[in-house]
Structure 1
Amino acid sequence: MNLKRDIPITVPADLRHAEELLEQYGRWAQDRYKKQRCASAEGAYRPPANREEEPMVPFIADWSAMQVQQALQVVPMQYRRVLFAIYVPQKEHPFAARRRYRLQRDVWDHSRIEGLRRFWAFYRLRYLTERGTIAPILRDTESCALVA
């Protein structure tokens, strides 16, 4: 087995926020997670009483997820499909998606970084202000006219 291909790439520091945002979006976009318990054929299994529940990672807000989705739509398909394969959990493993797309590892890694760059450039421009907060809506929601 070639362990070289299993080595994850290091995302540049300026793209870490983009990666975190896409990971949160991926958790939101997958089928809603339900905590499951073991079951028995008789239905009589009871978990141990001293077992602590691990906290669930919170999803991002729906409106924020829609902003991520809109920013992803601007990313060219060659990069977007790699981002979806990596950040949105699916039945297919990202390595299987890479084989299906017939991409070499260096092309896959370059597509991931370039996709993150293009996503983050648009997302920052459209939805973030200088302080990293959500940009205000510049339209009157009733008439869709620009607010002066």
Structure 2
Amino acid sequence: MPQDLQQAEELLERYGRWAQDRYKKQRCASAEGKYRPPPQARSDDEPLIPFMPDWSARHVQLALQSVPMQFRRVLFAIYIPQKEHPMEARRRMRLKSDVWDGSRIEGLRHFWNIYRLRYLTKGVTIAPILRDTESCALAA
């Protein structure tokens, strides 16, 4: 991955985790309402902490929509979790490995140029990944 696209890749990975974790984990219930969960509830059953604020995810989505379709479909297959594995998507699209990798780099380049021009100001970088609601806040 080229050095100048590291932030773009990190941002799309965060967006993919945000898109995947939009639900609240729940347990089964009984029709009578008498179901009680087991006493040793696992810690991973708690609601997940958002990976980025909703407004930031919206900015990423709008920038992705401006990327040409030939590159956007590759970015969605790689960074946005779906039922289909990215390599299955590559085979379905009938893309060779070098075309797939080139489309990924070119798509990241398009995405980052659009995102940077629309939503980032001069001298601002994206904050490092933290497990809180402000993980995508801008840092000076």
TM-score normalised by length of structure 1: 0.68
Q: How many Å apart are 1:122 and its aligned residue?
A: 0.9
Q: Give the SS at the match of 1:58.
A: coil
1:122 to 103, 109, 114: 114
Which structure 2 residue ranges, 5 or more long, are not aligned? Answer: 28-34, 127-140
**Matching of residue 109 in structure 1 with residue 101 in structure 2:** yes
2:17–2:80 contact (8 Å) kept in structure 1: yes
How many equivalent residue pairs? 120
- Structure 2 distance, partners of 1:111, 1:126, is 22
How does the TM-score come out when normalised to structure 2?
Answer: 0.72
Return the match for 2:62 from 67, 70, 75.
Answer: 70
Structure 1, unpaired ranges of 5+:
1-10, 38-42, 135-148
Matched, 1:59 2:80: no
Structure number, greater radius of gyration:
1
Distance 2:58 2:105 in 1: 22
* Alpha-carbon contact 2:14-2:52 (below 8 Å) kept: yes
Match of 1:23 among 6, 13, 19: 13
Greater RCO (CA < 8 Å, at least 6 residues apart) = 2
Q: Take 2:67 and 2:39, find their aligned partners in 1: how far apart are those partners?
A: 46
RMSD: 2.7
In the other structure, the counterpart of 1:32 is 22
